[in-house]
Amino acid sequence: MIDSDESADVARTLAWYRSSFFEGCEEGFVADFMVFCWQTLDPGNVAATDLRGDLLDACAGQLRELLQSVEETCGPWSAPAFWKRYIEWADYATLFSIEDQREFAQHDPGYIEPAFSVFSFTGGREMRAEAMTVLAGCAASSTMRASYVRSVIESRLRVEAFAARTR
């Protein structure tokens, strides 16, 4: 549960992202900012917290702006483009097929983060090595994006471990 200290942390983090954001900034930063806003608005988080309404409104407005600007400001295979598609799939049920996710993960050899979703969506059958590389990279990051990706991969691994124990 978010207490007043955590509400202040959200306010400080949002203010920091906003003050550090500029046209043409690094795409990884934009993706981090998007995921921060998105996860702050997560219904489970909202239901379990006393986060101020003005912070929720600010995060919602910022996320809307970021999502709208991705196509104009970022490359089509960039981290922000991937997260735009992923967030729209998660929140608005727009189509984001495994083939589309694979294409994001394979299009740019330097950006393999989408492997986490392929790994998860395929029940761990595809892009396992890449997902483990992404998981290792998440350990070195304190962003909400890294935390989210880590939780998805670890959740898939827990399901596998449970299935192996119950066979």
Q: Which of 94, 110, 140 is the last residue of a domain?
A: 94
Same domain, 73 and 101: no
Q: What is the pLDDT of residue 26?
A: 94
Give the Å distances, CA to CA, from 33 to 12, 27, 41, 99, 106. Answer: 13, 10, 13, 26, 23
43 lies in which domain range?
Answer: 1-94
Read off the pLDDT band of 4 (50, 70, 90): low
| Residue 85 and residue 156 in one domain | no
Residues 83 and 104 in one domain: no
**Does pLDDT of 3 surpass 70?**
no
| Residue at a domain's end among 48, 65, 94 | 94
Q: What is the mean pLDDT of residues 83-109?
A: 94
- Greater pLDDT, 118 or 2: 118
Residue 2 is predicted with a pLDDT of 40
Tokens of 59: 């995060």
The whole-number pLDDT of residue 44 equals: 83
Residues 102, 118: contact at Cβ < 8 Å?
yes
The rounded percent of the chain whose pLDDT value lies above 90 is 76
Total number of domains in the chain? 2
Digit-coded pLDDT (tens) for 21-79: 987 789 999 999 999 999 999 988 877 777 889 999 999 999 999 999 998 999 999 99
Amino acid 7: pLDDT: 79
Q: b/e for 116-125, b at 16 or more Cβ within 10 A?
A: bbbbbbeebe
- The 10s digit of each residue's pLDDT in 103-145 is 999 898 889 999 999 999 999 999 999 999 999 999 999 999 9
The one-letter amino acid code at 89 reads: W
Tell me which of 60, 94, 128 is where a domain ends.
Answer: 94
The yes-or-no verdict on residue 8 having pLDDT over 90 is: no
- Is residue 1 predicted with pLDDT exceeding 60? no
